Amino acid sequence: MTADREILQKSTRDLGQTRASLAAWLAGKLPAGSAPEVTELAVPLTGQSSETLFFTAAWHDGGAQQARRLVARVAPQRVDMPVFPSYQMEREFQVIRLVGALTDVPVPEAVWVEPDPAPLGTPFYIMSRVDGLVPDDITYNSDGWLLEASREEQRRLQESTVSALAALHAVPDPEQTFAFLQFPQAGDTALRRHVAHAQAWYDHAVSLGGRCPLIERGFRHLADNWPADPGETVLSWGDARVNNVIYQDFRPAALLDWEMAGLGPREIDISWLVGGHEVFQEIAGLFGSPGMPDFMRLEDVAAQYEAQTGHQVRDMDFYLTYTAIQWAIVFVIVGLRRVRFGEQAMPDDIHDLIINRGPLEQML
């Protein structure tokens, strides 16, 4: 497989129409006579799931002109082959709102949510825009500000991110407070339901033409190597990786992308943080870069997490394999989307869409 740095198409949305539709929607949210306008509408280069729109809303408030920099997270259109089979924007909005209210974990302010698809074609929510730097979704350890940072700065970013994860897992009574995050699939534990939910996600990939024997082998491997005791259930971010964090001075200013939030063991997020970096190390190798081999190492992350929380990190072979399986599902769906948009030809072997194929095969 080869890697490139081209911008992947994620949406067929017309931005001009979106600007007008957003302004019309804001007119119904703001006081009469506000005459809102949407300016500086832009789409960031990162992200492969929900559509993200940066914009500034300007409106009249009495005799004064007001302006606010905002971000819209918009469920993707079905024609654009979304990464996930469904998008629950109200659910994601409520997670951000509650995390902001109940913890010191930094998140954007949740401003508005719109479940009606009429204004923009799909549901969406609005949050405040937070300034800072976000590691690139593809090449952060091949080039860019994080790679060029000093080892001390990289360590500060790593440790402060793990600290934010530990703080998130400390939310009391998560199964009651965040009961709406319990996955609907059958299972006698949160981990059983979590993995069953991922299996349903894979079934969605199959429906798109993405049947993959390696992923199916992975799920069988999980069933045969199930943890004897998954431990307590916590609020799980789900997509815990540095690409989903806005940083200021190498510390989190906002945790983003809560589409995969759920309930489950602590190790789900720990393995995603570590395993996600391992995936990007694989991508760095495709670019001919050594990457950042000393960053987000399991032994370092686990030692800090254990010291900070008192929880002994365990069964990481299982959880890292589970992480790798989910990444494989992502790569299959994104690869099929690239084929649909004419960005690449369909390979003879679907496994060639999976960037982390080699590491996953070794795990199994």
* Angle (nearest 5°) at CA 255 between 252 and 258: 165
Selection from 301, 298, 281, 300 nearest residue 289 by Cα: 281
Sequence-ordered strand ranges (E) for the chain: 37-42, 51-61, 64-74, 110-114, 124-128, 234-236, 245-248, 251-255, 262-264
Q: Residue 50, Cβ neighbours under 10 Å: how many?
A: 24
Strand partners, 54: 42, 71
Q: Out of 136, 239, 269, 315, pick the active-site residue.
A: 239
Contact criterion met (CB below 8 Å) for 163 and 308: yes
User: Cβ neighbours of residue 18 under 8 Å, at least 6 residues apart?
Assistant: 41, 53, 120
Q: Is 143 a catalytic residue?
A: no
- CA dist., res. 212 & res. 146, Å (int): 34
Which positions ≥6 away from 55 have C-beta within 8 Å? 19, 22, 38, 39, 40, 41, 42, 69, 70, 71, 72
DSSP 311: P
Angle at 289 between CA 321 and CA 4, to 5 degrees: 80
- What residues act catalytically? 239
